[in-house]
A and B are shown apart, each in its own frame.
Chain A
């Protein structure tokens, strides 16, 4: 047991937790925005790939890192617009068009990568975000935060901002109403379609940034399969978080803690009496997500109009 304590008490562990959690925070906030407006966005997995690729590509071509983040957000917002066109304006199945968007964005990114770099054996690299050494002087959280990049700080800062927008501003109210009672939004003279489109584009922009974190901060190159199911995990985390930004942060950190723990456990063989296959450790995060879904689904307060297309004059 003391070895487990040593792992959890080490700053290396908490550095890993924050690093794993960052893309999940961006992604979960993105899914949350879409779903609070009443639209499921399963395009997240593909939007993250597109954001990772576009952000990395412009930096590789000489733009600075923040331009890369901006371009990733823009790519996400554009793909979000496609999703909004299909699900909000045409009222198509949110499941199927989200999956279609994931397939499209993933394949487009792979195609564009191969067209741009036809014959490379090792992926070309960029100079990623540097750690914020200045923050390591802070008490308690300093050592863990000082090893992170500005994108992690941005992710942490976005949580209260989005919570505030949703709960305290007219725009946030319109978004929440579009997800709960769209007719009431229309009765206020506000267009449900416009509100939902805006929320999806904003949420998808965050998903694009989540992808960009992988290529611009966590790693320094673009690989196929680098998103590897993180998008789906964000969709599960939103249910776990009961659609609240604060709980979403908590969920992402909790998930990242388990993921970091399984990485350490794989490395330290002395902790468990038997040597388990490494695949079991890798399964753990996915199993955990399903368990969290099952536990929370029983008392989940879904946005009332989630997955219901809105057509004016139709009940």
Chain B
């Protein structure tokens, strides 16, 4: 068996590939549903209904998609340059921590005008995420330390650091011993988009950032350099592109986007920070970026898909009794399926060996 590159890649094949992958995933997971003893058709129907079936379901899906768009973008921009940032989970938490440090009630900055303080809060969250990733990026560029392991390990360090702050200096004294930060100033919270729902304007910000990233990647020299470094770093260096600088800048943007995901969660949904704020949004971002083929606009679609699976599975497991871990299996399987499907748009298998 060997793989043979296709001469040209059809645009339609690239667009169809994700859907084939998702279809395959649903078929495989149908076996798991059947194993749990539930009727497959009804389970999937309940899952879909729980994600899109009502105004409430749709609003929950969009709420869940908001941080996922941002962590998806964070992974997409880094992976574009073949910088494997697996640390979005930690960056999200330090971003949220920085937001709370700036914006919490009774903080030192309370005298500032709300607009300035809001901008400062956003900036602090983005900067915290970017700074956390700056370390692994510098280590990679300067010493050639593999970023996958360093960013993975930093997730544990970041979470322990947040836990330490919530147990210590940033603990809300009124939280009755629970490790939780003080609530954000109500003036700094993101406004709601729909009445009687949790959808907040963070969704608009996330979509705007996706559009901005699409424009940056497509129409700027930095975007060109990013794609060139990802395609072939040696060739890019040979052509005189600043490889190290491009990687660093891409990493800073990636970390900042993940940090903003944390700010958005605090300012839009929870209003205070706890240690269970993110159910692995950072890791899901990687799946979303791959599902989207690293395209920033595709990230929006992929994030809504993943959010719908997570939200739909929660509601399905309450009524059908299939464990909601099914959602994680669907997400993981679709990641592997999309990898394979994407490869078959570029290669074909020849069975005869020469």
The interface of chain A, by Cβ under 8 A from chain B, is: 42, 82, 86, 89-93, 95-97, 99-101, 103-104, 106-108, 110-111, 114-115, 118, 229, 232-233, 235-236, 239, 277, 279-280, 282-283, 286-287, 289-290, 293-294, 297-298, 300, 311-313
- Which residues between 277 and 336 of chain B lie within 8 Å of chain A, taking CB atoms? 283, 286-287, 290, 321-323, 325-326, 328-329, 331-333, 335-336
- Of A91, A104, A290, A300, the contact of B153 (CB 8 Å cutoff): A290
Write 8 A-B pairs (CB below 8 A) sorted by A numbering: A103-B335, A110-B328, A279-B161, A283-B157, A286-B160, A289-B149, A290-B153, A311-B2
Interface centre among A90, A97, A235, A279 (most CB of B within 10 A): A279
Q: Contacts of B326 on A, CB cut-off 8 Å?
A: 111
- Contact present for B325 and A114 (CB under 8 Å): yes
- Contact present for B323 and A106 (CB under 8 Å): no
- Of A93, A233, A239, the contact of B146 (CB 8 Å cutoff): A239
Main secondary structure of the interface of B (DSSP, over half): helix
- Of A99, A107, A110, A294, the contact of B145 (CB 8 Å cutoff): A294
Q: Contacts of A100 on B, CB cut-off 8 Å?
A: 287, 332, 335-336, 339
- Contact present for A108 and B329 (CB under 8 Å): yes
Interface size in chain B (residues, C-beta < 8 A) = 48
B154 CB–A CB distance under 8 Å: yes
Interface centre among B328, B332, B339 (most CB of A within 10 A): B332
Q: Contacts of B1 on A, CB cut-off 8 Å?
A: 89
Q: Contacts of B120 on A, CB cut-off 8 Å?
A: none
Known: A95-B148, A115-B36, A290-B154. A101 touches B336 (CB 8 A): yes
Q: Contacts of B152 on A, CB cut-off 8 Å?
A: 229, 232
Q: With the chains together, A176 CA to B67 CA distance in Å?
A: 44
Which of B6-14, B92-100, B104-112, B162-170 is the interface stretch? B162-170
Q: With the chains together, A297 CA to B145 CA distance in Å?
A: 6
Distance in Å: Cβ of A185 to nearest Cβ of chain B: 16
Distance in Å: Cβ of A239 to nearest Cβ of chain B: 7
Distance in Å: Cβ of A49 to nearest Cβ of chain B: 12
Q: Contacts of B143 on A, CB cut-off 8 Å?
A: 294, 297-298
Distance in Å: Cβ of B350 to nearest Cβ of chain A: 11
B123 CB–A CB distance under 8 Å: no
Q: Contacts of A280 on B, CB cut-off 8 Å?
A: 160, 164
Distance in Å: Cβ of A279 to nearest Cβ of chain B: 4
B86 CB–A CB distance under 8 Å: yes
Distance in Å: Cβ of A123 to nearest Cβ of chain B: 15
Q: With the chains together, A186 CA to B101 CA distance in Å?
A: 59
Q: Contacts of B283 on A, CB cut-off 8 Å?
A: 99, 103
- Contact present for A90 and B340 (CB under 8 Å): yes
B84 CB–A CB distance under 8 Å: yes
Q: With the chains together, A160 CA to B66 CA distance in Å?
A: 52
Q: Contacts of B168 on A, CB cut-off 8 Å?
A: 277
Known: A229-B156, A286-B156, A294-B139. A107 touches B146 (CB 8 A): no
Distance in Å: Cβ of A237 to nearest Cβ of chain B: 10
B178 CB–A CB distance under 8 Å: no
Distance in Å: Cβ of B348 to nearest Cβ of chain A: 12
B144 CB–A CB distance under 8 Å: yes
Q: With the chains together, A107 CA to B32 CA distance in Å?
A: 12
B205 CB–A CB distance under 8 Å: no
Q: Contacts of B16 on A, CB cut-off 8 Å?
A: none
* Closest partner residue, chain B, to A236 (CB atom): B149
Q: Contacts of B2 on A, CB cut-off 8 Å?
A: 311-313
Q: With the chains together, A97 CA to B342 CA distance in Å?
A: 13
Q: With the chains together, A164 CA to B286 CA distance in Å?
A: 39
Interface centre among B36, B157, B286, B290 (most CB of A within 10 A): B157
Q: Contacts of A104 on B, CB cut-off 8 Å?
A: 329, 332-333, 335-336
Q: With the chains together, A91 CA to B145 CA distance in Å?
A: 23
Q: Contacts of B15 on A, CB cut-off 8 Å?
A: none
B237 CB–A CB distance under 8 Å: no
Q: Contacts of A300 on B, CB cut-off 8 Å?
A: 144
Known: A92-B339, A93-B339. A99 touches B86 (CB 8 A): yes
- Contact present for A277 and B325 (CB under 8 Å): no
Q: With the chains together, A114 CA to B313 CA distance in Å?
A: 14
Q: With the chains together, A283 CA to B165 CA distance in Å?
A: 13
* Closest partner residue, chain B, to A105 (CB atom): B332
- Of A108, A283, A293, the contact of B149 (CB 8 Å cutoff): A293
Q: Mark B113-151, 1 if CB is under 8 A from A, else 0.
A: 000000000000000000000000001000111101110
B343 CB–A CB distance under 8 Å: yes
* Closest partner residue, chain A, to B163 (CB atom): A279
Q: With the chains together, A90 CA to B336 CA distance in Å?
A: 12
